[in-house]
Structure 1
Amino acid sequence: MEMAIVMAREAGMDWIIHLDTDELIHPAGAREYSLRRLLLDVPDNVDMVIFPNYESSVERDDIKDPFTEVSMFKKNYDHLPKDTYFGLYKEATRGNPNYFLTYGNGKSAARVQEHMRPNGAHRWHNYMKSPNEIKLEEAAILHYTYTKFSDLTSRRDRCGCKPTKEDVKRCFILEFDRLAFIIASTATEQEMRNWYREHVVWTDKDTNLKLLRKGVLTRIYAPMAIIRGLKESGIFIDAVTSAKKAVMTILKQLQER
């Protein structure tokens, strides 16, 4: 992220945001569903905007391409009335350790300025001042976490910890990741499948409908439609290839200095 700040400044970027490969930005509330428009409308005195995260809620255990197959998400508590969040907490967590399987503190975009630095993967800071920040009321980060069964089975290759409750604390911060690693390291394929369906897949249609009506879950189709269209036209692959080449060129230039 330190290097990304340098690259953003070199390229004349106005804003910077850190996204993982299992995340998309959902600029809800912006005209034309435009992230650029969303950020242009941010007041000039604001240094950082926080996007609360929504978490994918898969309805099948055979997802192959999450960005084009997943449409149901659990909303962040920042976008829910408190009585709704607390009143439906048990049904929303389904016996898992926390409301979200993984992180719940969103991601932030920051204006590219002098003296800025990353503050973890989710926030930005500035050596010379405390950034003025706002939290967005409609836009969100869509986090497609554990959307594929292989996301669970591959956990056992993430570290060399022993599959015990104490030892996994050395490798994983989040409780659900710890549980997933233990299951992936000790269970049979069928046991893993059963655990995945019980803890990750939303198979109870009545519960899903109730939480959708109450606003805890929501349907979001725009990213799915956009990415499907880009893939079918070939633009998606071209953009990814072009971006990789551009990044490699910039990195090479920085290394040669």
Structure 2
Amino acid sequence: MESFIRYHLAIGIAHIYIFFDDPEDPAAQIALRFSDVTAIPNDEALQVQQALGNILYAKYGPHVGYEVMARQILNVETAIQLALDQGMDWIIHIDGDELFYLGEALTLDWFDQLDNDILQVRFLNYEAAPEKFEIEDYFREVTLFKRNPAVLDPDFYAKFQSTSGKSQYFLAYQNGKSAARVYPSILPNSVHSFDIPEEHTLVTSSPTVLHYLNCGFQNYYKKYAQLGNFPDYWWRSKSNLIRVPFHLRSRDAYCSGDINQMVALYQELTLYDNPMINQSLVEKGILTPISYPSQLLAKGSARLN
């Protein structure tokens, strides 16, 4: 949590709104130490506020008790109102295991250079390739990433499989995350984007969103222990099947009660612990080292010490 906050403030983010799904989450105490962070617990006050004041509550309110995406979408709507009140120009919605990566040569002035008719920018995401079995602070420790399939040659997957021996590349989403200009009628339409027409949306791979998915076995295990035996479909609708094989296999491995199944699955698909294979994948342009966030956080720690 502290690394997430310090990194984004260091790159120039003006204010961070963090919604804590567990109102008793001790990490909220970390967020409260920063004047440029608003910590918002998912407590009765927030629930009443959203029920009475959120336009999207009629659509998503019935699902908040069991679907985290419903809560996220309503939280984004709430954050938009807070951003409006504070005079913010842009808002981006990312999760607690993600960083907004400008690149070492860019600053947030990048947004000022966009044409006025661009109301939304969709940033392609890169997915972490953890090189160690156990990881504590992935923002500081992970520096290797899988490039988004959209920026790779069509034949990359065959090269990836033959080199890595892995049967899957990205293990979660690959359609990116979006930022939007802040104006009174803007609303999210998913956890990935805002309700803005395609002709007013720019898609780019630089900047990007770095997704530190399942970095460290204990983090991976805790995630699926918390999720438990969830159904095969989103929104409790059989028409919305979950088409993320790794997500379902991880659930089944956890529910088996055999931790060795989770270890084997983690080692098979998540872990990239062979330096020679990793170097070959880097040379093929499939993996890419990105050390700037780690270095930036290390510099911040040095100043604090």
Query: What is the TM-score with the length of structure 1 in the denominator?
Result: 0.78
Distance 1:157 1:86, change over 3 A: closer
1:25 corresponds to: 100
Structure 1 residue runs of 5 or longer lacking an equivalent are 162-166, 236-257
Is the Cα–Cα contact under 8 Å of residues 134 and 218 in structure 2 kept in the other structure?
no
Is 1:156–2:225 an aligned residue pair?
Answer: yes
The equivalent of 1:221 in structure 2 is: 291
Which residue identity is paired with 2:161? Answer: K
Tell me how far 1:213 sits from its aligned partner.
Answer: 0.3
- How many pairs are equivalent? 222
What is the distance in 2 between the residues matched to 1:175 and 1:181?
Answer: 10
Structure 2 spans left out of the alignment, 5+ residues: 1-75
Counterpart of 1:82 in structure 2 is: 154
Q: Structure with the greater relative contact order (CA < 8 A, sep ≥ 6): 1 or 2?
A: 1
Question: 2:81, 2:172 → 1: CA distance?
Answer: 29
CA–CA distance in 2 between the matches of 1:137 and 1:146?
Answer: 22
The letter for the 2-side match of 1:227 is L
Query: Shift in Å at residue 189 of structure 1?
Result: 3.1
**Cα pair 2:250 2:265 within 8 Å, conserved:** no
Q: Does 1:45 align with 2:117?
A: yes
| TM-score, length of structure 2 as denominator length | 0.66
> Percent identity of the aligned residues?
28
Letter matched to residue 227 of structure 2: R
Structure 2 residue identity aligned to 1:141 = V
Which one of the candidate residues 114, 122, 145 is aligned to 1:73? 145
Deviates more, 1:199-208 or 1:8-17: 199-208
Cα distance in 1 for residues equivalent to 2:261 and 2:276: 25
Q: Give the deviation of 1:160 after TM superposition.
A: 4.2
Task: Provide the alpha-carbon RMSD of the alignment.
Answer: 2.3
Q: Deviations over 1:178-200 (max 9, x none)?
A: 11111122143344223211221
Asked if structure 1 preserves the Cα contact closer than 8 Å seen for 2:253 and 2:259, the reply is no
8 Å Cα contact 1:48/1:131 also seen in 2: no
Match of 2:130 among 55, 58, 83: 58
Q: Answer whether contact 1:55 1:143 (CA < 8 A) is retained.
A: yes
Describe the shift of the 1:57–1:118 C-alpha distance in structure 2 as closer, same or farther (beyond 3 A).
Answer: same
Q: Does 1:16 align with 2:128?
A: no
Equivalent residue letter for 1:124: F
Match of 1:16, as an amino acid? I
Q: Residue 166 of structure 2 aligns with which residue?
A: 94
How many Å separate the matches in 2 of 1:131 and 1:233?
44
Which whole-Å CA distance do the structure 1 matches of 2:187 and 2:121 have between them?
15
Structure 2 counterpart of 1:230? 300
